[in-house]
Amino acid sequence: MRVIDRHLAQQVVVNSLLVLLVLTALASINTFIGELSSLGEGQYQLGDAALYTLLYVPTWAYQMCVVAALIGTMLGLGELASHNELMVMRTAGLSAVRLGASALLGGVLLLVLCVVLGEWLAPPAQRYADARRAELTGYNPNSAADGIWARDGEVYLNISGMSGRNSAQGIYIYRLDGAHHLLTISSAASAAFSHGSWTLQDVHSTELGPDGAVTINVPSREWRTFLSPGLLGLFTVDSDSLSARGLYQYIRYLRTNDINADRYVAAFWSRIAQPLSLLVMVILALPFVFGPMRSATAGQRLVIGMLIGIGFYIFDSIFVQSGVVFGLNPVLTAWLPTVLLALISGIVVSRIR
């Protein structure tokens, strides 16, 4: 039995990786062609476009994992079916469910790859690619003209820019009371973060009171806040380039400050649901191997797999975004496509004879 499990799982993994390679290559070529129109902007050259495309490879691979798992499973097991290997296994007494469980082992390995790409490889590579491109071209679509804004309770922070991993420039701190009356305005030329606090340099503070304004100037001052450089960095990137951990951290910040986080909650749960969708896709491929299409050609399976996989990807994206627009429960909108796909897969698999 271990030989059969390993054989089926290997077919699923190898064929899925080949499909993933092709889909990622197509997406990367499209990205590179799109970047050619930006050549000459600032210091952005052909080599920079190639590096930008290369850094986006983990992102495209992560986004294509679910589709690749479906097509790869259909092609891998379909090849065994065309050679009558699956028929021999079933004649030997193995049920379709048992063979499907063996194929699912390959899906688990693909799930691990999907998680590694989505949590550790794609987010930092994409953020670095976008930051480097913005630096070279002088254009950053994720940055605001008035810098980074953040909130810590009744304190509002504005930073002109991050000059390093743990340093910032152009800091303005506005402190309000419970009735939203301005109490203090502080500015600092620069700040460095260390051991859980910011050290502000060249600080100018103006305290507003009933007797007028009082200005205080000090060369440096320590400011303790949970707004670390890592958290502030989340403000300048799109939710698509954040890992599930980054999204969870940002959601906690938003909820702590009573800011609507539905968009990011939906993105977070979509991140959690995607690896499970990959396993569902492996199960969904079984009826096309054991069912009426067991004698279909590889081309037919490829077309059907592309239609189902891309259709699910589009439906999932539209449904999640529509939920944010219409104010639906973000957890529901993130999970419903995967749950529906699982129900459909369960129904069609139960009809395999």
**For 295-335, how does the pLDDT look when each residue is reduced to its tens digit (9 = 90+)?**
677 788 888 898 999 899 899 989 988 888 888 899 999 99
Beta 182-194 vs 167-176: how paired, if at all? antiparallel
DSSP codes joined into one string, 53-115: HHHTHHHHHHHHHHHHHHHHHHHHHHHHHHTTHHHHHHHTT--HHHHHHHHHHHHHHHHHHHH
Confidence grade of residue 103 (pLDDT, cut at 50, 70, 90): very high
For the chain, the 3-state helix, strand and coil shares in percent, each to the nearest 5, are: 65, 20, 20
Decide: pTM greater than 0.75: yes
> Are residues 49 and 71 located together in one domain of the fold?
yes
Burial-class residue 226 by CB neighbours within 10 Å (0-12, 13-18, 19+).
exposed
pLDDT of residue 87: 83
Confidence grade of residue 12 (pLDDT, cut at 50, 70, 90): very high
pLDDT tens for residues 49-94? 999 999 999 999 999 999 999 999 999 998 898 888 888 888 888 8
The count of other CB atoms within 10 Å of the CB of residue 49 is 21
Q: How far is the C-alpha of 158 from the C-alpha of 174, rounded, in Å?
A: 8
> Are residues 39 and 133 located together in one domain of the fold?
yes
Task: Name the residue range of residue 179's domain.
Answer: 149-227
> Are residues 134 and 73 located together in one domain of the fold?
yes
> Are residues 26 and 163 located together in one domain of the fold?
no
pLDDT tens for residues 258-293? 888 888 999 999 999 999 999 999 999 988 888 666
Beta 197-209 vs 155-164: how paired, if at all? unpaired
pLDDT tens for residues 26-41? 999 999 999 999 999 9
pLDDT of residue 291: 64
Coil, strand, or helix at residue 200?
strand
pLDDT greater than 70 at residue 209: yes
247 assigned to some structural domain: no
Q: Closest by alpha carbon to 173, among 153, 193, 143?
A: 153
**Tally of domains within the chain:** 2
Beta 155-164 vs 148-152: how paired, if at all? antiparallel
Amino acid identity of residue 271, one-letter, is R
> Are residues 270 and 187 located together in one domain of the fold?
no
> Are residues 35 and 120 located together in one domain of the fold?
yes
> Are residues 135 and 177 located together in one domain of the fold?
no
> Are residues 187 and 119 located together in one domain of the fold?
no
Q: If you count DSSP H runs as helices and E runs as strands, how many of each does the chain have, helices first?
A: 12, 6
